[in-house]
Structure 1
Amino acid sequence: MKRLCYLCLFWMALSSIAVYTVLVSRVDISRRLFTADSVLYEHPDEFLGFNNVSGTPDGCYIVPNIVHFIRFGLQEFSFVDAVCLLAALKNQKPDKIYLHTDLPNFYGRHCKVILSTPGIGGVIELKYMRVPDQIYGQTLNNLGWRKYHASDIARLQILMKYGGIYLDNDSYIVQSLDTFRKYEMAIGWRPGGNISNQVMVAHKNARFLREWLLTYKDHYDSHGWYYNAGIRPTQEVLSRRPELVHRVSRRFAEYHGVADMLYLSKSDAWMDHYAIHLYVNHMKALVRRNLSSEATYPVVFNEDNIRLYPVNFRDMVYDVYPINRTV
């Protein structure tokens, strides 16, 4: 009888150890994958001393898996817009995709394609946002640049509110950006150049977001396309305090050579990138020759003409967009 009691006690103890081991492993997993809802980094000052070279000590995520697009005045999705949103859905697998807009809804055939994509339900959300019309008392009054400058400001405000991954509407995620979610902020910044703001990964309390916004104070340039969006924050802040960001020098919405790689080449080179800015609005300046009499540049891509372009961008489209590939 005693032997039976001892045996029961032994198995109870062994079971307790097993349960404890499982619980500890689960806690460890949740600790590694914590998001911005964590109690850590509730104020920018808490990032003092943070190592943006190596990231969080245990590799845990501090940036939420939320993808942000800005769609001011854009009620319909272009073909390229839809391709990039679907690339974010497939390759990033975000918890949410927020569409920040000043409009009540969207419509059109590409919108229907997006909403009929498996896995989109419960992920995509509209977030109303008024278009910025001033910054620190300075009016955004240049008709040529106003909408671009408003977007430059809005993306900083959005990341400061939510944190996450900001993408231009023509920025294509090739592979998951999760590796950058362990940093305070990650941004494309090539050696000897200025930062790019087409793709950004940031905690909502990242110090550089606030420092960047402050560079607009008394120095908003209404006539320059990229002064406040790249030149000034690089020269006035990051050149002195590069430790505020994780610097990604290559394959993160980089500029040099990308247009030729996308629109004139057929290879696997695009697969080595994290994210690619497609520069669809700069095609006339960047793509200097045609592929054939049928495949000419500049072009507004759609479901039909993309088949005529045997280049890397077509492969990128085929990878994420439901399309009939027969010419």
Structure 2
Amino acid sequence: MIPKPHTLEVIISPPSSSDAKNFKELAIARETKLKTVGTAIPKIVHFVYGLRDPNPTLDLIHYTAIKAAHDVLKPQKIMFHYHYMPLGVNFERARPMLTLNQVPLVESVFDRPVSHYAHRADVVRLQVLEEYGGIYLDLDLISVKPVDHLLNREFIMAQEGVDGSVGLCNAMIMARPHSRFVQRWFATYALFDSSEWNYHSVILPGKLAPFFRDEITVLNHTAFFWPLWDSQGLRTLYLEKSYDFSANLGTHIWESAANKNLMKDINEKVVMQIDNSLYCQIRPLLLDGKPDPRPRSCRILSHTERTDKLIGHWSLKEPASIHRKETNPLPAEDDSGNDLAGLIRNGKYIDDSIYLSGDTSYIFLNMPTETSAKSMTVSWWMKTSSKVSGQMAMVIQTSGGRIYVSTHLLDNDELSFNVKTIRRNDQWEWAQIQDLKLRPSPYSVDAEYHHYALVINDKNNTGEPPIALYMDGFVASSSVHWEFPENIGLVVKGIWFGSIEPLNDRYQSPWDNSVNLQAYYREIKVWEKGLDAAMIKEIFTSTTNKATALTNQTMTTTGTKNKKQTSSAGNTTLLKFQNNNSSNPKPELDQELPEVDLAEDEELLWVADDQLED
């Protein structure tokens, strides 16, 4: 199928001779006795629900889909076809917009058994479109723009996947009464097989379309089914604030793939407080004409608007507004002026920080849409008592890879951190890029707050390494030979703390808590440039001095157990250099690494991973 210039429509290519081979449904479609087709697609919207169990409830997202159809499409009526009448607040809110129509429970079609409620809905939608004509929508498809300009067509579907790689999705169908394609398609249900999940609903119409090109209009994948249901699409909808739906007539939000994790606990407060691509789109529907109390919150930036290149500052302090702390996920407020609020899943405010339990918990931060992963700095304060390797402290997400800081147990069972890069291998499995692996930090970590910064400054001319992990103002790990792997993607798609996007690409699966880090986070900052060593030292020192001053105002210090400890917001910070092969590792020029004293204003010392002994 070839896109038409400047339109959502695609030109359907004629079938090849091989397309008809072993295509048993084609003969049925061709031999279907056709009724007279109606003259236009009527402005009647159809929803189908309540075909599973008695007393179903309508979820908020279902109400939103009905409200969007009502407000955006402005239909003559909305027919709600059900077998079991829904209950609950959302159904009562929607009911004044609906014309109710009870339908028999589909148990078979052409003597073929139909047991799954989704397959029952597939049958009912074709039956009502054949009889009434109109616009069928799934209850998780949000209308974005009017479709009046398409009502003179006979039958319309849209591609699922780029170039219709999956098929034509039946979550949106527009049809005249008795449209020829609907009649042919429904007739093929004589061969329905319930074991083939989406064959009759998605794959088959895509196979039939080339043979009946004058009976169907096909819209491209962006019309209704983009972003897609894969991990990238779900992240775009539910985590990023990066997509404005300007290319869409509607958007399918893939409820079944998102409701286990990404949409869990969704309510109106979540939609109003969490700024992602989807919630920004549907928020006006729930405001229902009222002004947005945070009118700048849904801006989509390509780059930071600040001259100092600061992208965002997320202090993670408990907000004063009760509305900003009574949802799950919580909003991660950004006070940089760039309005890049992130989200906190299953986190708690404790002592001016966010505590992540490690149980399906994480912080995800939005980035401007053109943020380069080749030149950036991520700075954060964190404390953890973890004693497990491979848990995620911080992850920079790109379209095809991850650069992450994870826990690492040293030989003496002390905790440290290392930096790794992963991407897809030839078997489509996530694998580490070995050439880009940094040596684990030789500094061990106690259970108090420490400052960390990952700096990426590829191909810089400053003489500093292209990648470096800092801890408390000192280089903990770096490499002068590191080169950014452009095959992982150049643009940052978000930053995670405490977890990572599911590596099995299934947001609907149980969350993999084995890689989650139990930790406290505070004072996260991200820059759209690589900061130099002096700047990192200044960030650490200035934050420490502020915290020390605040602590001295509120509590009396009776003494310290170790003169090499320094206060950080009321908590001690201690660096310990660990090496099991010698008392001191030998950096370049055989210069011994001095013992770290954070209380003194020492010069920064480079400790590159390729200078350390194994």
The alignment's TM-score, normalised by the length of structure 1, stands at: 0.69
Rounded Cα–Cα distance in structure 1 between residues aligned with 2:247 and 2:216? 22
Q: Does 1:131 align with 2:105?
A: yes
- Counterpart residue number, 2:172: 199
Whether the aligned pair in 2 keeps the contact of 1:174 and 1:276 (CA below 8 Å) is: yes
Give 3-state SS (helix, strand or coil) of 2:58's partner. coil
Name the amino acid aligned to 1:130.
P
How many Å apart are 1:108 and its aligned residue?
A: 1.6
Q: Does 1:93 align with 2:74?
A: yes
Cα–Cα, structure 1 residues 284 and 232, in superposed 2: closer, same or farther, change >3 Å? same
- Counterpart residue number, 2:50: 72
Rounded Cα–Cα distance in structure 2 between residues aligned with 1:225 and 1:69? 21
How many Å apart are 1:265 and its aligned residue?
A: 2.4
Aligned length: 250
How many Å apart are 1:213 and its aligned residue?
A: 0.9
How many Å apart are 1:308 and its aligned residue?
A: 4.2
Rounded Cα–Cα distance in structure 2 between residues aligned with 1:131 and 1:284? 26
- Counterpart residue number, 2:136: 166
Rounded Cα–Cα distance in structure 2 between residues aligned with 1:308 and 1:100? 33
- Counterpart residue number, 1:58: none
From 270, 276, 279, the counterpart of 2:251: 276
Q: Does 1:260 align with 2:238?
A: no
Rounded Cα–Cα distance in structure 1 between residues aligned with 2:92 and 2:277? 25
Within-5 A mapping of 1:237-256: 237-255=208-226, 256=228
Within-5 A mapping of 1:41-80: 44=34, 62-73=40-51, 75-80=56-61
Cα–Cα, structure 1 residues 300 and 167, in superposed 2: closer, same or farther, change >3 Å? farther
Rounded Cα–Cα distance in structure 2 between residues aligned with 1:147 and 1:46? 31
Q: Does 1:224 align with 2:204?
A: no
- Counterpart residue number, 1:293: none
Structure 2 residues without counterparts, runs of 5 or longer: 1-32, 294-322, 325-614
- Counterpart residue number, 1:302: 267
For residues 73-106 of structure 1, the C-alpha deviation after alignment (integer angstroms, 9 at most, x for no partner) is 4642101001111001100011101110113x44
Cα–Cα, structure 1 residues 313 and 134, in superposed 2: closer, same or farther, change >3 Å? same
- Counterpart residue number, 2:575: none
Structure 1 residues without counterparts, runs of 5 or longer: 1-42, 51-60, 286-295
Whether the aligned pair in 2 keeps the contact of 1:101 and 1:127 (CA below 8 Å) is: yes
From 282, 288, 300, the counterpart of 1:317: 282
Cα–Cα, structure 1 residues 233 and 71, in superposed 2: closer, same or farther, change >3 Å? same
Judging by fraction of residues, say which structure has more strand: 2
Rounded Cα–Cα distance in structure 1 between residues aligned with 2:287 and 2:164? 40
Give 3-state SS (helix, strand or coil) of 1:204's partner. coil
Rounded Cα–Cα distance in structure 1 between residues aligned with 2:133 and 2:222? 22
From 58, 68, 92, the counterpart of 1:112: 92
Which 4+ runs in 1 deviate beyond 4 A? 43-47, 323-326
**Which stretch of structure 1 is more off in the superposition, 207-216 or 297-306?**
297-306
How many Å apart are 1:44 and its aligned residue?
A: 4.9
How many Å apart are 1:130 and its aligned residue?
A: 0.8
Highest RCO, 1 vs 2 (Cα 8 Å, sep ≥ 6): 1
Rounded Cα–Cα distance in structure 1 between residues aligned with 2:41 and 2:263? 37
Whether the aligned pair in 1 keeps the contact of 2:238 and 2:262 (CA below 8 Å) is: no
- Counterpart residue number, 1:54: none
Give 3-state SS (helix, strand or coil) of 2:169's partner. strand
Percent identical residues? 21
How many Å apart are 1:46 and its aligned residue?
A: 5.1
Whether the aligned pair in 1 keeps the contact of 2:181 and 2:212 (CA below 8 Å) is: no
Whether the aligned pair in 2 keeps the contact of 1:172 and 1:276 (CA below 8 Å) is: yes
Give 3-state SS (helix, strand or coil) of 1:110's partner. helix
- Counterpart residue number, 2:187: 214
Rounded Cα–Cα distance in structure 2 between residues aligned with 1:45 and 1:125? 26
For residues 264-323 of structure 1, the C-alpha deviation after alignment (integer angstroms, 9 at most, x for no partner) is 2224522431011110111279xxxxxxxxxx7352411122344211211122111148
For residues 25-73 of structure 1, the C-alpha deviation after alignment (integer angstroms, 9 at most, x for no partner) is xxxxxxxxxxxxxxxxxx95656xx9xxxxxxxxxx8111111000124
Rounded Cα–Cα distance in structure 2 between residues aligned with 1:300 and 1:216? 38
Name the amino acid aligned to 2:235.
D
Q: Cα RMSD between the aligned structures?
A: 2.6
Cα–Cα, structure 1 residues 127 and 245, in superposed 2: closer, same or farther, change >3 Å? same
Rounded Cα–Cα distance in structure 2 between residues aligned with 1:182 and 1:282? 34
Rounded Cα–Cα distance in structure 2 between residues aligned with 1:139 and 1:90? 38
Name the amino acid aligned to 2:212.
R
Name the amino acid aligned to 2:87.
Y
Whether the aligned pair in 1 keeps the contact of 2:155 and 2:175 (CA below 8 Å) is: yes
Whether the aligned pair in 1 keeps the contact of 2:136 and 2:173 (CA below 8 Å) is: yes
Cα–Cα, structure 1 residues 124 and 284, in superposed 2: closer, same or farther, change >3 Å? closer
Whether the aligned pair in 2 keeps the contact of 1:65 and 1:95 (CA below 8 Å) is: yes
How many Å apart are 1:241 and its aligned residue?
A: 2.0
Structure whose alpha-carbon radius of gyration is higher:
2
How many Å apart are 1:114 and its aligned residue?
A: 2.6
Q: Does 1:233 align with 2:198?
A: no
Cα–Cα, structure 1 residues 46 and 70, in superposed 2: closer, same or farther, change >3 Å? closer
Cα–Cα, structure 1 residues 268 and 228, in superposed 2: closer, same or farther, change >3 Å? closer
